[in-house]
Chains A and B, each alone.
Chain A
């Protein structure tokens, strides 16, 4: 019977073409949408982890409570000892102590008078230690647009956009005006040796990258760091492992009664990221459900048209002794065959587009001018094993639903009218 139905599908284009096109379109959009969403999320997670959150992050308890304000007066002191112990306990993990700071960036003229000035967000990272993963992780060497990488203390990088706005050239001296860990005013000179462009709007507006030791000195934060970012050494975030490590760390190092004791949080535990990820998952579900609903309605309609067009065939089949249930099931089987064919074609098409977007990406920079999200401007799709199978959910479910509803007409057909109907 399957062979018989398949022959009908292949030979009768009006039976299969429209439903197949519908399924191909729906499935390819689902595959593409899923892969692109996946790319957005992966890009956002990776960029956020590298620039902001780490896979896990160690802070003082007090700092963690107000982390969105980067309160360096509550920074953790005793970084060297903590890191020495931490590396013994978790040798497979990478650590990156950082200080995030804000201030006024002042560019003086030849006479030392202010030529240009602007607010900055600064990121102090370990630029010079051999074991520091920062240069590679932040891809600093490739991000330098003009000038060079810092080679000694007192040298900094600033965002290219900011440099152009303040008319700063590599080699110029600049002054950071900020506040120390203890609330005093800090005024420190640096040499701008290069300008940067990360391709991350939130980082490219007005950021300076300085060496950790320089900023510890400038902000009176000796052996202190606002945040210690912790990464899995393959840079792939694993929620369960992160939870386990966090629990072990906090049990050993954290003291609930000491607000300056260190505390570790996972990527998902920071800044409502778990809620955000949950929201994205919901959106993905809504996307797939929407395709299923729309395709089901279209296929239902196509099924009704098909039932009308095949009125004679259905009548003959009932007359020669095919039970209504058998006929109904064969219609569903037929639609599932169409669903499988359409899904395979749609998946191939959707994967083609997804691979193209994985390679080329779409530049959404213009759409994110005022965005504070730490995410690349060029967002690429990401094809995963799930991308190969996700289309089968709407492809098969929609054909099944559409035909199940339209095929119910078979049960309303009165066999007593068949003789008359088949004489037309």
Chain B
């Protein structure tokens, strides 16, 4: 399937319900959004507004109850588990609130893991991993274990893990929730640089004001509906809240 109107992600009347006893909860209730390549967008809104559910569906981790979601030309609702895994593997990077690094492996090996699934040659893997660690300024910590890293460094490794395969889309769910202000700004600066240099589309789910200041598109969700979708002027740089 062709990518609709050059959008990387298109959702139309997206509905996702969860059973709750005899009733059902509408986590998403008719969400229609499009994302182009190179966007730096965020989903904001109170808890339970549907931010994570939206990321789940466009990240091919979940399927919509109704409506459609097309990501990189693939209809999410029609994908098998294996096809969804392949879509994530090839096209989507994830950054989580907790860093979720594999504790027994080094920084280098944590970043390398996603490339192992893509069956790249060892040389190519080495080149890409070192490049990704350069992007997040952690090349000198390649042999360190996660337990030897600070929270900020761990999240930078998680960013490197997400970008190493140079996916067109990165989904970040509250990526700064476990970081102090300085590390949050460092991470966000890194993401902005990657967005600019690689053209990667970043979509955040966040309530963190520090993240919101970096967004160029702010989508406010409320009760599973899009309350506001606006282009905003990002307040670049760090330090205002410090």
Contact = CB atoms under 8 A, between A and B. Distances in A.
B221 to A, nearest CB: 15
B29 interface: no
Given A4-B116, A7-B104, A418-B61, A320 B173 contact: no
Interface string A232-263: 00000000000000000000000000000000
Contacts of B61: 319, 415-416, 418-419
Contact of A321 (B63, B90, B174): B90
A424 to B, nearest CB: 7
Interface of A: 1, 4, 7-8, 11-12, 15, 312-313, 315-326, 415-416, 418-420, 422-424
A321 B88 CA distance: 5
Interface in B95-126: 96-98, 100, 102, 104-105, 109, 112-114, 116-117
Interface size bracket, B side: 35 or more
B85 A323 contact: yes
B62 interface: yes
A15 B84 CA distance: 29
Given A1-B116, A4-B109, A316-B100, A419 B88 contact: no
A335 B196 CA distance: 44
B98 A320 contact: no
Contacts, number: 86
A321 B114 contact: yes
B70 interface: no
Name the 8 nearest CB pairs between A and B, nearest first.
A321-B89, A416-B62, A321-B88, A323-B85, A415-B61, A12-B104, A11-B104, A423-B97
A324 B80 CA distance: 11
A124 B91 CA distance: 90
Contacts of B105: 4, 7-8, 11
Contact of A420 (B52, B81, B102, B104): B52
A320 B101 CA distance: 12
A319 B117 contact: no
B86 A423 contact: no
6 contacts: A4-B112, A7-B109, A316-B100, A320-B94, A322-B85, A416-B56
B55 interface: yes
Given A4-B113, A415-B61, A320 B102 contact: no
B173 A321 contact: no
A44 B82 CA distance: 59
A423 B92 contact: no
A62 B114 CA distance: 81
